[in-house]
Amino acid sequence: MRTAIRDAWIVTQDADRSIVRGDVVIDGDVIVSVGGSGVEADREIQAGGDIVMPGLVNTHCHAAMSVMKGSVDDLNFPQFLENVFRIDSDRNDADLDAGARLGLLEMIRGGTTTFVDLYYSQDVIAKAVEESGVRGILCWAVLDEEFTTQSGNPMDNCRRFCESHSSMRKVVPGVGLQGVYVCGPETWEEASSYSIESGRVMTFHLSETRGEVNEHQRKTGMRPGDWLGSMGVLHPGCLAAHSAWLTLNEVRALGRAGMSVSTCPVSNMKLATGGVAPIPEMMEHGVNVSIGTDGSATNNSVDMFAEMKTLGLLQKSSRWDATVTPAQSLLDMATIGGAKAAGMGGRTGSIEKGKLADLIVLDGKAPNLRPLLPQNMVSNIVYSGNALNVKTVMCQGDLLMHDREVLSMDEAQVLSKAEDAWLKLCSR
């Protein structure tokens, strides 16, 4: 089927960051024309001055935790972890499915078309992802066997999941290490080797808290980033989440490895773990920076518009410098930077001929986005936009939401099952 989105402002995110007025034409799952007009199509979407832009990429998420929102709020980090571990250990496939579907529904409504997930039981989450139409880079949680509640060896479980789900259309399996505090050298080396050999993304939590860094330094004599660099396990397929407590030396090591970072400002601020990720230094030293929301237990939403703005304000405020992380850089992190971090840099993240049709339509008549001109469009998206501005969502040519009606999920059923799951989890 050929689809044309007519008469839109198109924020392409191409190499020149072009903004053009015209049509976007999609044939099947691929963009075939950008900015022209009059190309015939089987299905037409009249934009009438709305904004068409790439779908957002959330590079650190725990989608199945969406049913846990509002259950562990306003607690200091040790108490938060204690409660989360207790709830998490009681979870079953039914509430994992309910949580994943709730998170996916929120992502669709908020304009996220690709997300990177780190969790166990990704086989359960994969079914929800495929049915929702969103793309999930699903990374199976790996840790040393002595620390896990998984049945069997976590790395074996990860490998099994990756190989059994490698042919799904919108599920991309990957490797997800929990962190240096539960993963020893052998686990890191095995996971890294498998990631390199298979070409799969390897994501992990890194230097999220000062306590994590200090404890690792006490045990090994090295900070986590330096330790991983010394073992040679870092490579371009790596995606480090949080990374708030890195030294410049560690940043340089990540840059030399050609890897990516997913900064999660709202989660870190809500948990009061301190530290502000050194984003300008990362960009200076060749680290690909992307943005993640983290899970709904720590963030309470998967709203990438809120995350973009918060990241920019945090960086400016903490450095007393309003010029750092400008609006264009923030949009880059949420689109092309996210696509690269997710291992899909050549296939999505921008609206260009030959790329997958992952795009969203924002309401160009929304007062919070007006006045709307090419000169202020990116700033308005980043600093004024919000999830409620999203009208239409397409992922790989599939129309997931049109004129704010979700087409790929039974919204009422998802919401009902999520509340049932929350009540059961809290009662247990």
How wide is the angle at C-alpha 103 spanned by C-alphas 360 and 207, nearest 5°? Answer: 100
Sign of the C-alpha dihedral computed for residues 211, 217, 223 and 229 taken in this order: negative
Sign of the C-alpha dihedral computed for residues 389, 370, 309 and 203 taken in this order: positive
Q: Are 381 and 53 in contact (CB under 8 A)?
A: yes
Per-residue pLDDT, 424: 82
Cis peptide before 371 (omega within 30 of 0): yes
Spell out where 40-178 has E strands: 43-46, 51-54, 56-61, 112-119, 135-142, 171-177
Domain boundaries, the chain: 2-54+355-406, 56-341
Alpha helices (H) in 258-326, listed in sequence order: 265-270, 279-284, 304-319
Residue showing tokens 């024309």: 33
Regarding beta strands 2-11 and 43-46, do their DSSP bridges make them parallel or antiparallel, or are they unpaired?
parallel
Burial class (CB in 10 A: 0-12, 13-18, 19+), 360: buried
Regarding beta strands 51-54 and 359-362, do their DSSP bridges make them parallel or antiparallel, or are they unpaired?
antiparallel
What torsion do the CA atoms of 401, 42, 45, 55 make, to the nearest 10 degrees? 50
Instruction: Please state, as a whole number, how many other Cβ atoms lie within 10 Å of the Cβ of residue 364.
Output: 19
Q: Are 405 and 389 in contact (CB under 8 A)?
A: no
Phi, psi of 40 (to 5 degrees): -70, 150
Q: Are 51 and 364 in contact (CB under 8 A)?
A: yes
Q: Are 23 and 4 in contact (CB under 8 A)?
A: yes
Bridge partners, 390 (sequence order): 362
Q: Are 266 and 306 in contact (CB under 8 A)?
A: yes
Q: Which two tokens stand for residue 12?
A: 């392409």
User: How far is residue 75's CA from residue 83's CA, in Å, rounded to a whole number?
Assistant: 9
Closest CA to 11 of 345, 264, 324, 385: 385
364: left (phi over 0), alpha (psi -120 to 50) or beta: alpha
Q: Are 302 and 107 in contact (CB under 8 A)?
A: yes
Q: Are 262 and 292 in contact (CB under 8 A)?
A: yes
Q: List % helix, strand, coil for the chain (3-state, nearest 5).
A: 40, 25, 35
Closest CA to 279 of 269, 287, 271, 270: 287
69: left (phi over 0), alpha (psi -120 to 50) or beta: beta
Cα 191 to chain centroid distance, Å, stands at 21
Q: Which two tokens stand for residue 101?
A: 């579907």
Question: How confident is the prediction along the chain (428 residues), in pLDDT tens digits per residue?
Answer: 999 999 999 999 999 999 999 999 999 999 999 998 888 899 999 999 999 999 999 999 999 999 889 888 898 888 888 888 887 777 889 999 999 999 999 999 999 999 999 999 999 999 999 999 999 999 999 999 998 888 889 999 999 999 999 999 999 999 999 999 999 999 999 999 999 999 999 999 999 999 999 999 999 999 999 999 999 999 999 999 999 999 999 999 999 999 999 999 999 999 998 889 999 999 999 999 999 999 988 999 999 999 999 999 999 999 999 999 999 999 999 999 999 999 999 999 999 999 999 999 999 999 999 999 999 999 999 999 999 999 999 999 999 999 999 999 999 999 999 988 888 877 76
The correct answer on CATH 3.20.20.140 for the domain covering 56-341 is: yes
Helix (H, G, I), strand (E, B) or coil at 34: strand
- The structural architecture, per CATH, of the domain 2-54+355-406 is Roll (2.30)
